[in-house]
Structure 1
Amino acid sequence: MRGQLQRLLDAGSLRNVSVQVLPFAAGAHSGLSGPFVLVETPDHEHYGYVEGQGTYVLHSDGPTVSSMEQLWGHLRMHALNIEDSAQLIRKVMREL
């Protein structure tokens, strides 16, 4: 697990990657329904991708993608900032 945490820190040091931790203290949140991916093309088209057990969907309709983008904003708002996230990851690594 220590190696996985170090990989997160390494990825977070890249200029195009931000690692933010949503702590358990945040409680129940809208991201508990599962992972999703947001994509913006060079032509500024927006897509949302959801994958689950035995299913996958690429959304291109505006209202659905907008809802996913709002969910993403909500999750980021409750997550630790980049520096605090890195500190928490380092703390967990020390405790292992």
Structure 2
Amino acid sequence: MSARRKRQSLLARRPAPDIGFVLELSALTRPIGVRQVRRQQLRHIIEVAQLRNVQLQVVSPDRETHAGLDGPFVLLESQERRQLAYIEGQGGSFFISEQPRLGNLFGEYGILRAQSLSPEASVKLIEEVAESV
């Protein structure tokens, strides 16, 4: 639990980091847990999405394919402008710091954002999902 709180404190850190997320709709609609808790989680996601330093987008539910189908990844940029990517899966986790793979992941993220709903439309969709839970 303390690791989760530590990650969440990042959202309120000063100076505020620029944070962007792209989520699959299925991650928001999967019926895991009690309905009331799922609804609270969705409302929390909406609150986070409305922070000035956060961009949250949902992949359009109409898309059959998108640039993120190879799996999740995290893109990072340090204060010194050093870029890294972090990939975690069942086979382990690792950082990518070398080109061309690093540049490819940053490119894939840009494409994925273009293939997703706008932040405003994403929040509206998450609100609809929360109401239906």
TM-score bracket for the superposition, by shorter chain length: over 0.9
Q: Which moved more, 1:68-77 or 1:53-62?
A: 53-62
- In structure 2, runs of 5+ residues without a counterpart are 1-37
| Deviation, structure 1 residue 53 | 0.7
Structural mapping, 1:1-96, within 5 Å: 1-96=38-133
Kindly provide the amino acid, as one letter, of the partner of residue 58 in structure 2.
V
Q: What's the TM-score once normalised by structure 1's chain length?
A: 0.92
Identity of aligned residues (%): 35
Kindly provide the amino acid, as one letter, of the partner of residue 112 in structure 2: L
Q: Counterparts of 2:58 and 2:77 in 1: how far apart (Å)?
A: 23
Q: Distance in 2 between matches of 1:39 and 1:22?
A: 21
TM-score by length of 2: 0.68
**CA distance in structure 2 between the partners assigned to 1:43 and 1:67 by the alignment:** 21
- Give the count of matched residue pairs: 96
Q: Which consecutive segments of 4 or more residues in structure 1 shift more than 4 A?
A: none
Query: What is the distance in 1 between the residues matched to 2:91 and 2:85?
Result: 18
Q: Distance in 1 between matches of 2:129 and 2:89?
A: 29
RMSD of aligned Cα (Å) = 1.1
Q: Structure 1 stretches of 5 or more lacking a match?
A: none
SS in 2 for 1:3: helix
